[in-house]
Chain A
Amino acid sequence: MGRYALRRLLQAIPVFIGSTFLIWFLVWGLPGDPFAGRCGERKCPDAYVTYMTDKFNLDEPLYVQYLIYLKNLLTGNFGQTFNGTEIGDLLAQAFPISIKLALVAVVAEALIGITAGVLTGLRRGSFIDNLVLVSTLVLIAVPIFVIGLVARYALGLSSVSPDAPFVELIIPGIILASGSMAYITRLTRVNLVENRRADYVRTAVAKGLTPSRVTGVHLLRNSMIPVVTWLGLDLGALMGGAIVTEGIFNIRGIGGLLFGAISRRESGIVVSIVAILVLVYLIVNLLVDLLYGVLDPRIRYE
């Protein structure tokens, strides 16, 4: 397993480089000068454009710029924004908030999703089952910005304060989680239904265990493995996927940072955020795969 993990880590390196270079190429490869339009209605002074072009190495070929960036990144230096702010500081400020929001969302989807899933899975075909199934479909179908806008403006909620305390993140978190919640419900349900017919459950029932023990210890525990995996992966995805929710509630996380950066062409921020998110994705993926091996003894990594 150690060798497997090592191999996966080594394989992650080209993926990381590939993703960041792709994004780098996209955002810096844009035609036009990112500084020319920054002086309102007049032409930017030559001296300013020259200075900034120099400072951000824009007169070098793209791959050289990228190598410089990568070299700095390895020493923990994310570079600066056009207004001289350390991008590292910005990320250190925004990431905790996004992680908080993602945590709230994951907890919400776990609580609500698993409960609904168990409820429907145990009563397959009942009225509740059908009701929940249809409502999960609706949740999947309604785009998050519709839910968010309606919640914000129809209920008259105010924005989240700058330090984003957990209490204020509950409603945005639930909104952010709404789509995944539906998936969790369905995932739990499918697994319960499948495992109910498994031999070990039949054995447990035949042994004369109480129904609650069969459900609680044998059925649920085994059905939860894929659900937990999904939750783990979702935590990573939610961090970068909260652009809409963060905008609606003015949460100062990385979603908003990224969106603003794209519109202001602050390419340094965009690349740095993507680099971190890709890293998170790769690490979470690896962890989940390893965890799977631990939880399910049938899976072996050579």
Chain B
Amino acid sequence: MRGITPWKVAVGLTAVALAAAGCSSADPVEPEKKDGSFIISWSEPQNPLIPAGTSETQGGVVIDALFTGLTSYAAKDAKTEMANAESITSADNGKTWTVKLKSGWKWHDGTTVTAKNYVDAWNYGAYSPNGLINGTFFADIDGFADVHTEDPDGEEGPQKAPTPAAKEMKGLKVVDETSFQVTLGAPSNLWPIKVGYSAFMPLPDAFFKDPAAFGQNPIGNGPFKLSKWTKNTELVVTRFDDYQGAEKPKVKDVIFRVYTDDAAAYEDVKNGTIDFQQQVPSAKLVGNLYKTDFADRSSNKPISSSAFIAMPTWLPGYNDPNIRKAISMAIDRQLVIDKIFNGTRIPMNGWVNPNMSGYKADVCGANCKFDATAAKALWDAAPVKPKDLSLAYNGDASHKGWVDAVCGSITNALGVPCVGKPFPTFGEFRTLVTTEKMTGMSRAGWQADYPSIENWLNPLLKTGASSNDGKFSDAAFDAKLKEADGTADLAAAEKLYQDAEAMLPNLMPTIPLWHSSQQTVWSEKLDTVVINTFGELDLASVTVK
């Protein structure tokens, strides 16, 4: 690692020099110059700050500040908007896409954002030896299989993943400085929506000179640039004055301060030491204490994450939709929510989160409503039933409370013993789930990657899909999804996805439980506060007093 230090210095110096030059020469005319700053409670990201290498929220919120992708989701309604892209068009029903970039966009180091930056970044992200956490997001692109190989006998096996045959996906082609062409493996009308996800953000040439150093000192093309990162203490981003996006930041600095203890952070927002806490500690939900403390400086908003129960559909009894319906109707969702979650979950009646475009209310109907008698009747009528019920979960997060409560509800309604079954770590739990070793129900959760109904059906319920924990499979449902995937017109496609979802109440592939909400508080200093669909503070629109 001795090689890293000189690079760090070199990159740092050029960045400073260029930034200084940019300031003195361009000096954009600003009618109202706001030099304010504010502080957000934060914790250290788990991965280097590279868009395709960050999947958790703490790193994600900084990536979103530093980088802007082709499209972005409007903070208010999650509608997809063109960001760095001028246009994304397809002439052949979503198989080949032509991306045209807006001109004049600059990286924080002063170089121009080009089509090549995108193609290079995507190829790097997809190449499996680079080991990026979001690598599989590029799986739609033609030629992904050539650059991304899997370990043939799993992690534990002696064999290693073979080196991929190619370094670049054949589906990506740079046309000229500001446009490139993407060929997908199969048609998808959702491509413009998907590319708004941070995995698809571009990388400057500086990245490829030293990826490791870049992860510690990223250079982006977004509304803010990184100005200081004191590890384990705080990270400061400063407004990038050359930013070409629609919404320019109204403040100069945003400071992300590391907190180990969320109770300490809450107190600090309360006394004005810092300005924003995305999720208040659960104790402050008791009796809505946070509302007493903050009144109109708080929000309570549903977020794009939901909980389900996955059913082992390969086992006798569980393969009967009526059994699954009976279990679903035996769960008193509202009572569990009130007592265990202080009312911070919202009962689900469908398979799609309400923050998604294409969401329809009450899809599941009576099958997802608590009705002990009907549940018992359905259960008793079933020819084959599971002997005893169990609900597996990972013991390293706080699931015990609700799992026990849900099981209690099922036991009371059906008269069948149901026990919670903890597994020590999430890793172990997931391994058992994915290898079909579960002997009963298991908990499942899903958080949207991009705000579309499709993201809740294809990855979760299609035959053989990556997160189809229950190995659910239904030919008619798959055919409907396929039809929707191949429909170019977005609105028509959405309609078809809704039709597919409407088939689910009878099939009951998984049991929807509830979706989460988030309670956010901020200090008196913040004026305009918009919480986006991912529950994050929209940094660009914040104004300070």
Contact = CB atoms under 8 A, between A and B. Distances in A.
Asked if A pairs with B, the answer is yes
A37 B48 contact: no
Contact of A47 (B148, B216, B265, B267): B148
B447 interface: yes
A85 B431 CA distance: 29
Interface stretch (B201-209, B225-233, B368-376): B225-233
Interface stretch (B124-132, B337-345, B358-366): B124-132
Contacts of B265: 159, 250
Contact of A93 (B43, B46, B230, B444): B230
A252 B430 contact: no
B259 A250 contact: yes
Choose among B136, B427, B467 the residue with the greatest number of A CB atoms under 10 Å from its CB. Answer: B427
Given A93-B231, A260-B260, A82 B46 contact: yes
Contacts of A152: 264, 267
A42 B467 contact: yes
Interface in A28-67: 32-33, 35-55
Nearest to B467: A42
Given A40-B55, A83-B48, A158-B268, A252 B447 contact: no
A80 interface: yes
Contacts of B506: none
A264 B43 CA distance: 11
Contacts of A252: 232-233, 258
B261 interface: yes
A32 B273 contact: no
Given A38-B46, A93-B232, A250 B271 contact: no
Interface in B228-278: 230-234, 257-261, 264-265, 267-268, 271, 273
Interface in A231-273: 246-250, 252, 256-257, 259-260, 264
Given A247-B260, A248-B264, A158 B231 contact: no
A94 B261 contact: no
A155 to B, nearest CB: 11
B446 interface: yes
B264 A84 contact: no
Interface string B1-21: 110100000000000000000
A156 interface: yes
Interface centre among B1, B48, B133, B148 (most CB of A within 10 A): B133
A153 to B, nearest CB: 7
Given A83-B46, A247-B264, A45 B1 contact: no
B427 A159 contact: no
B44 interface: yes
B405 to A, nearest CB: 20
Given A37-B427, A158-B273, A162-B257, A47 B132 contact: yes
Nearest to B307: A41
Contact of A40 (B273, B396, B447): B447
Contacts of B259: 159, 250
Contacts of A82: 46-47
A146 to B, nearest CB: 15
A33 B427 contact: yes
A40 B136 CA distance: 15
Nearest to B261: A247
Given A43-B434, A250-B265, A51 B48 contact: no
Contact of B267 (A153, A259, A264): A153
A286 to B, nearest CB: 30
Given A82-B46, A83-B45, A159-B273, A37 B430 contact: yes
A21 to B, nearest CB: 23
Contact of A36 (B150, B232, B431): B431
Contacts of B428: 32, 36
A45 B133 contact: yes
Interface string A114-138: 0000000000000000000000000
A295 B1 CA distance: 46
A90 B231 contact: yes
A86 interface: yes
Given A83-B47, A86-B1, A89-B231, A48 B131 contact: yes
B264 A159 contact: yes
Contact of B56 (A40, A48, A93, A162): A40
A97 to B, nearest CB: 9
A119 to B, nearest CB: 36
A77 interface: yes
A44 B133 contact: yes
B110 interface: no
B145 to A, nearest CB: 13
A248 B43 CA distance: 15
Interface residues of A, number: 51
B143 to A, nearest CB: 16
Contacts of B44: 83, 85, 260
B126 to A, nearest CB: 9
Contacts of B267: 152-153, 156, 158-159
B314 interface: no
- How many residues of B sit at the interface, in one of the four size bands? 35 or more
A42 B305 CA distance: 13
Contact of B133 (A32, A39, A50, A162): A39
A140 B238 CA distance: 48
B444 A50 contact: no
B467 to A, nearest CB: 6
B264 A32 contact: no
B290 to A, nearest CB: 15
A256 B260 contact: yes
B258 to A, nearest CB: 7
B1 A80 contact: yes
A35 B428 CA distance: 11
Contact of A162 (B55, B149, B230, B466): B230
A17 B257 CA distance: 36
Nearest to A255: B260
Contacts of B445: 41
A246 B132 CA distance: 34
B88 interface: no
A162 B233 contact: yes
A84 B148 contact: no
A43 B46 contact: no
Nearest to B164: A47
B56 to A, nearest CB: 7
29 contacts: A38-B46, A39-B133, A42-B467, A43-B434, A46-B150, A46-B151, A47-B128, A47-B149, A47-B150, A48-B133, A51-B129, A80-B1, A82-B47, A83-B44, A83-B59, A85-B44, A86-B1, A86-B4, A89-B231, A90-B231, A158-B267, A158-B273, A162-B233, A247-B260, A247-B264, A256-B232, A256-B260, A260-B44, A260-B232
Interface of A: 32-33, 35-55, 77, 80, 82-86, 89-90, 93-94, 152-153, 156, 158-159, 162, 246-250, 252, 256-257, 259-260, 264
Closest 6 CB pairs of A and B: A51-B131, A36-B427, A37-B426, A47-B128, A84-B48, A41-B445
Given A43-B467, A152-B267, 10 more contacts: A48-B135, A52-B131, A55-B131, A83-B46, A83-B215, A84-B215, A85-B44, A153-B267, A156-B267, A247-B261
Interface of B: 1-2, 4, 43-48, 55-56, 59, 128-136, 148-151, 155, 160-161, 212, 215-216, 230-234, 257-261, 264-265, 267-268, 271, 273, 394, 396, 424-428, 430-431, 434, 444-447, 466-467
